[in-house]
Amino acid sequence: MQSGAIRPIPNMLPRKLFTSDHEAFRETVRKFYEKEVVPNIEKYENQQHVDRDLWNKAGALGLLCTTMPEQYGGSGVDRLYSMILIEEQAYAMDSSTGFSLHSDIVANYINNFGNEEQKMHWLTKMATGEAVTAIAMTEPGTGSDLQAVRTTAVLDGDEYVINGSKIFITNGYLCDMAIVVCKTGNNEKGSANLSLIIVEADRIGFSKGKPLNKIGMKGQDTCELFFDNVRVPKANLLGMEGMGFIMLMKELAWERMLVAIICQAGAEAAFAHTVQYTKDRKAFGKSISTFQNTRFKLAELRTEIDFCRTYLDRCMELQLEENLGVDAAAAAKYKISDMFSKVVDDGLQLHGGYGYMLEYPIARAYIDNRANRIYAGTNEIMKELISRTL
Ligand SMILES: Cc1cc2nc3c(=O)[nH]c(=O)nc-3n(C[C@H](O)[C@H](O)[C@H](O)COP(=O)(O)OP(=O)(O)OC[C@H]3O[C@@H](n4cnc5c(N)ncnc54)[C@H](O)[C@@H]3O)c2cc1C
């Protein structure tokens, strides 16, 4: 399998976000992917999840929960470190590791809404890789419409009794804990019904399906979770009962940014592979990069990538100032994931038949990229959000 990183084309517009500390961190992340992940991607894809000890290796290098406060095992650094982690994963053309969901989504819920005991217990374990975590919202009957969640958590004395099931859960198969979106109120209350409950994977009645057979991202663990009269102490409630929907909204802009970052870096990597391939491949006695169609196509793609990069980095500046609007983040998510799909489609075409062969990075990027237009809110939902601000 051809794999591994090709650096983005150097003559793209220069970026201004990072300091030398960030770049030193980038070097550590890059080496981690080169040494620990890229040589094992095929294995991960065959078993449909990464090796469990990869989490501990990432934790030992400080690559998990990096932005969390130091007293809970993080490094207390800014979210540019998360951006670097995601970019290096994408430049390595890996879609197996589910670190970002664990470090940048689940950890934020616990840090933002957990009490001291929950933070000390979970964040410290999450930072070392001792605990792998998931967030379980989607159900077989509902995804975009979160208020239609049917998994229930009913108080019985000092315990919640949870019943229901969740689907498409990233890190679900290896998870030691999942934050589960449950209905705790009666049906009439709509969004005020929802609560977030921490459920440990070893609770009686909590079971996991096999990793789901996806068309792409085959090395990333995605599975169903089942809850059959699972009893958890009331103390496992995150934040306040009935506030689940509001809690889920708090980091929504950031969660969309995470996908936009993956897509931007993924497009840059796919483009770099395509440029290289067109220089190497010969047809009619010359390099295919000399044909006008190839040159124009690459020029168009490069222009789109540069435009998106500029918008994304500006959104990131606003994110760091905590001024990023949900509409701007939704625009980044939908536009950049669409752009990524275009880059891999055109890039595959320029590879000819080899682009259809899975040993070529462009072929894997082609199948892996597709989910980005669906998860973290579908692109149609992103347009809904943007249109509401007009
Ligand atoms: C690889 C992968 C990983 C995932 N990881 C997780 C995870 O870790 N945790 C988790 O909880 N979920 C996860 N998901 C689920 C994902 O978030 C949902 O699939 C997504 O939110 C869409 O929900 P749905 O599949 O039920 O589609 P639906 O909501 O049924 O949507 C079907 C279609 O209808 C459209 N649609 C729906 N409502 C509207 C509307 N109001 N206006 C216009 N169009 C609309 C959608 O855009 C879509 O095109 C993952 C999914 C995938 C594929």
Residue nearest to atom 17 of ligand 1 (CA): 375
- Check if 168 has its Cβ closer than 6 Å to any atom of ligand 1: yes
Rounded to an integer, the average pLDDT of 123-151 is 96
pLDDT above 90 for 370: yes
How much is the pLDDT for 364?
96
pLDDT above 50 for 136: yes
Confidence of residue 189 (pLDDT cuts 50, 70, 90): low
Residue nearest to atom 7 of ligand 1 (CA): 169
pLDDT above 80 for 6: no
- Check if 388 has its Cβ closer than 6 Å to any atom of ligand 1: no
334 CA to centre of ligand 1 in angstroms: 14
d(CA 103, CA 125): 11
- 246-387 maps to CATH 3.90.280.10: no
Residue nearest to atom 43 of ligand 1 (CA): 380
How much is the pLDDT for 185?
79
The minimum-distance atom of ligand 1 relative to the CA of 172 is 8
The alpha carbon dihedral of 254, 258, 263, 264 has a sign of positive
How much is the pLDDT for 283?
97
Residue nearest to atom 31 of ligand 1 (CA): 144
278 CA to centre of ligand 1 in angstroms: 36
pLDDT tens-digit readout, 296-335? 999 999 999 999 999 999 999 999 999 999 999 999 999 9
- Check if 136 has its Cβ closer than 6 Å to any atom of ligand 1: yes
Domain 134-242 fold is Butyryl-CoA Dehydrogenase, subunit A; domain 2 (2.40.110)
More reliable by pLDDT, 257 or 8: 257
Q: Contact, 231 vs 157, CB < 8 A?
A: no
Rounded to an integer, the average pLDDT of 243-255 is 92
Q: What mean pLDDT is reported for the chain?
A: 95
In this structure, which amino acid lies at residue 265? A
Which of 273, 271, 264 lies closest to 337, judged by CA? Answer: 264
Phi, psi of 166 (to 5 degrees): -130, 155
Lowest mean pLDDT among 13-17, 29-33, 101-105: 13-17
Residues in the chain: 390
Lowest mean pLDDT among 129-143, 183-197, 356-370, 374-388: 183-197
259 CA to centre of ligand 1 in angstroms: 14
How much is the pLDDT for 97?
97
Rounded to an integer, the average pLDDT of 241-254 is 93
Strand partners, 155: 160
d(CA 319, CA 324): 5
In this structure, which amino acid lies at residue 294? T
- Check if 222 has its Cβ closer than 6 Å to any atom of ligand 1: yes
d(CA 220, CA 48): 6
Which of 377, 269, 284 lies closest to 333, judged by CA? Answer: 377
Class of domain 20-131: mainly alpha
User: Which positions are annotated as active-site residues?
Assistant: 255
Q: What percent of the chain has pLDDT over 70?
A: 96
Confidence of residue 192 (pLDDT cuts 50, 70, 90): confident
Q: Contact, 133 vs 175, CB < 8 A?
A: yes
Phi, psi of 169 (to 5 degrees): -90, 115
Confidence of residue 85 (pLDDT cuts 50, 70, 90): very high
Residue nearest to atom 27 of ligand 1 (CA): 143
CA distance from start to end of the chain:
47
Confidence of residue 1 (pLDDT cuts 50, 70, 90): very low
Ramachandran region, residue 205 (left: φ > 0; alpha: ψ -120 to 50; beta: rest): left
d(CA 271, CA 299): 11
Confidence of residue 159 (pLDDT cuts 50, 70, 90): very high
pLDDT above 60 for 186: yes
More reliable by pLDDT, 3 or 144: 144
- Check if 138 has its Cβ closer than 6 Å to any atom of ligand 1: yes
- Check if 111 has its Cβ closer than 6 Å to any atom of ligand 1: no
All structural domains of the chain with their residue ranges: 20-131, 134-242, 246-387
- Check if 378 has its Cβ closer than 6 Å to any atom of ligand 1: yes
Confidence of residue 238 (pLDDT cuts 50, 70, 90): very high
Three-state SS sequence of the chain: CCCCCCCCCCCCCCCCCCCHHHHHHHHHHHHHHHHHHHHHHHHHHHHCCCCHHHHHHHHHCCCCCCCCCHHHCCCCCCCHHHHHHHHHHHHCCCCCCCHHHHHHHHHHHHHHHCCHHHHHHHHHHHHHCCCCEEEECCECCECCCHHHCCCEEEEECCEEEEEEEEEEEECCCCCCEEEEEEECCCHHHHHHHEEEEEEECCCCCEEECCCCCCCCCCCCCEEEEEEEEEEEEHHHEECCCCCHHHHHHHCHHHHHHHHHHHHHHHHHHHHHHHHHHHHHCEECCEEHHHCHHHHHHHHHHHHHHHHHHHHHHHHHHHHHCCCCCHHHHHHHHHHHHHHHHHHHHHHHHHCHHHHHCCCCHHHHHHHHHHHHHCCCCCHHHHHHHHHHCC
Q: Dmax of the chain from CA atoms?
A: 79
Which of 22, 83, 98 lies closest to 264, judged by CA? Answer: 83
